[in-house]
Amino acid sequence: MLLFMEKLYDMHCHVGFAPAPATVAAEGAQAGIGALSCTVEPTEYEQLRAALADAPNVAVALGAHPWWIADGRVGETELARFCELARTTRFIGEIGLDFAGPRDTEESRALQTSAFACILATCNESAAPLAPTNPEGATATSGQNRTCIATTSPEANPPSEGTLTRSATDTAPKLISIHAINAAAAALDALEQASTFALHRVIFHWFSGTSDDLHRAVKLGCLFSVGPRMLASRRGREYARQIPLGQLLLETDMPARKDDNLPAEVWRAELNNALSGIAQLKGIDRAELAEHIASTSRELLIR
């Protein structure tokens, strides 16, 4: 087994896309990798949670990706199942809004916005306040125009216990990974309206909003997962430079497609590339940055 000096955490990946998720997770553990693996719809979440029941280094997040909502793959039935499952886990993602390309229509925006409000309202059920930082005037949404059907038995389909998921309870703050393309302002509006920032921790995955959106998100206490693809653009590098150290996380967003594999050496290299890139942009020691980001990630995953 190879030994590594530092533990790296991938706070937005898709282990469920790999042909053999349990193998990927096990090899990742040997390579010193912890992860938050996001899913795109409830069925994938249930399958991956079962597959990784014995993988303590990977926390599985319950997702309803806006692409799947926009094209109908996550419809009323799937959304109702999401609402049932959301009561059993602390980890939510990938959810959000995407108003780019074919999804930038009035019908698609309305569908996504309604589903997003429903999801956020469900996340708030029985949640205890996280900190007294909720913006004045924010009110909880009730998921207008879309019905969320949640189970009355939180013990149904309980999540597996593991190193990264041991405190998944109804009242614990959720860790929520957000996708927002051409929709950062709208996503922030929805999150504020739902009082999400007072109750949960929010991560923006691969942030691509405007500079004003970034400053607003930073002020609201959002975290940001940054990977090599974000750092490939000038704007992405500038955003990574501006994000406060305590709000920075790493990500790979890999595998990129269903049935793509994720060899541990590639996984580790992608995280190392992001870490080195951020350290250079910020002009700080790489090892110091690695420990700081690892500490933040560990706290998010085990609490």
Is 14 labelled a binding residue? Answer: yes
Give the closest residue to 24 by CA, choosing from 37, 5, 42: 37
CA 285 to CA 61: how far, in whole Å? 31
Q: Is 179 annotated as a binding residue?
A: yes
Of 296, 299, 301, the residue nearest 275 (C-alpha): 296
Q: Are the C-beta atoms of residues 116 and 95 closer than 8 Å to each other?
A: yes
**Whole-angstrom distance, CA of residue 71 vs CA of residue 91:** 24
Q: Is 12 annotated as a binding residue?
A: yes
| b/e 38-73 (16+ beta carbons within 10 angstroms → b) | bbbbbebbbebbebbeebbbbbbbbbbbbbbbbeee
User: How far is the C-alpha of 58 from the C-alpha of 48, rounded, in Å?
Assistant: 10
Which helix (H) or strand (E) segment holds residue 76: the answer is helix 76-86
The answer on whether 200 is annotated among ligand-binding residues is no
> Which residue type occupies 57?
N
CA atoms of 293 and 225, how far apart (whole Å): 10
- Return the closest-CA partner of residue 114 out of 127, 95, 128: 95
Angstrom distance (rounded) from CA 282 to CA 241: 5
Is 161 annotated in a binding site? The answer is no
Q: Is 253 annotated as a binding residue?
A: yes
Chain Cα centroid distance, residue 168: 16
In the three-class reduction of DSSP (H, G, I as helix; E, B as strand; rest coil), residue 124 is classed as helix
Annotated binding site for a divalent metal cation: 12, 14, 94, 179, 205, 253
Annotated binding site: 12, 14, 94, 179, 205, 253
